[in-house]
Amino acid sequence: MDEPLTTMKDVYAALGETVLEHPEYRASATIPEIIPSGQRNSTLTSLAGTMRRRGMSDREMFAALFIVNHFRCVPQLSEAEVAGIAKSVARYSPG
């Protein structure tokens, strides 16, 4: 039996693994292992656009983007910037 998730970091990590590794949510372009300054915003916006086209809400996009930002962006964007990307992309209609 799996151990329960004990922290929000554990929850986000588990969600990130599910979202980022599931074939339905893979973007056509590969997300680099390290997203450097100067590419962070555009890469996360592109990823959010892919998720929005598939019908994900701003909250779902934020959760996935939060994980990508945490593990791949160097340096990380602020949580407010990541939330802003999700909110901005959510204005567009899915599909």
Counting every residue written for the chain, the total comes to 95
Domain boundaries, the chain: 8-23+33-89
Non-local CB neighbours of 54 within 8 Å, separated by 6+ positions: 24, 25, 94
Identify which has the larger pLDDT, 5 or 37.
Answer: 37
Question: Measured between alpha carbons, how far is residue 15 from residues 37, 45, 80, 93 in Å?
Answer: 25, 19, 19, 24
The model's pTM: 0.72
The pLDDT value given to residue 40: 98
The pLDDT value given to residue 30: 87
Query: Which of 95, 94, 70, 91 shows the shortest CA–CA distance to 82?
Result: 70
- Which residue has tokens 């949580």? 79
Contact at 8 Å (CB) between 66 and 26?
Answer: no
pLDDT, tens digit (0-9, with 9 covering 90-100), for 31-85: 899 999 999 999 999 999 999 999 999 999 999 999 999 999 999 999 999 999 9
Residue 46 CA to residue 29 CA, distance in Å, equals: 10
